[in-house]
């Protein structure tokens, strides 16, 4: 995944994150906690990219993306 400041989220980035999510869901409780944290970190990064991309054209979407990114960081064990 790319950083939030470098470029907008690409469809391939979103697809990769969704595939990762599905793989973790299939593992259920057996999923490695470190991998789950890494997934949440990547999810937060992608949501920040979305927030940056839409900050001027859709502030409401950007705000929702920022809040979702903060929640993903909390699930990853990162500070806000």
* Total domain count, the chain: 1
Q: Is 74 domain-assigned?
A: yes
pLDDT over threshold 90, residue 53? yes
Q: What is the DSSP string of 6-46?
A: TSPPPHHHHHHHHHHHHHHHHHGGGS-HHHHHHHHHHHHHH
Mean pLDDT rounded to a whole number for the chain: 91
Q: Is 48 domain-assigned?
A: yes
Q: Is 79 domain-assigned?
A: yes
Q: Is 13 domain-assigned?
A: no
Quick one: pLDDT at residue 51? Answer: 96
Range of the domain at 78: 33-80
Q: Is 51 domain-assigned?
A: yes
pTM assigned to the model: 0.85
Quick one: pLDDT at residue 5? Answer: 54
What would the mean pLDDT of 10-28 be, rounded to a whole number?
A: 97
Q: Is 66 domain-assigned?
A: yes
Q: Are 73 and 44 in contact (CB under 8 A)?
A: yes
Q: Is 44 domain-assigned?
A: yes
Q: Is 53 domain-assigned?
A: yes
């Amino acid at each position: 995944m790319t950083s939030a400041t470098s470029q907008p989220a690409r469809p391939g980035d979103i697809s990769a994150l969704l595939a990762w999510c599905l793989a973790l869901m299939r593992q259920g409780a057996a999923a490695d906690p470190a991998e789950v944290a890494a997934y949440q970190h990547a999810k937060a990064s992608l949501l920040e990219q979305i927030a940056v991309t839409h900050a001027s054209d859709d502030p409401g979407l950007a705000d929702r993306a920022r809040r979702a990114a903060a929640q993903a960081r909390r699930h990853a064990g990162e500070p806000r």
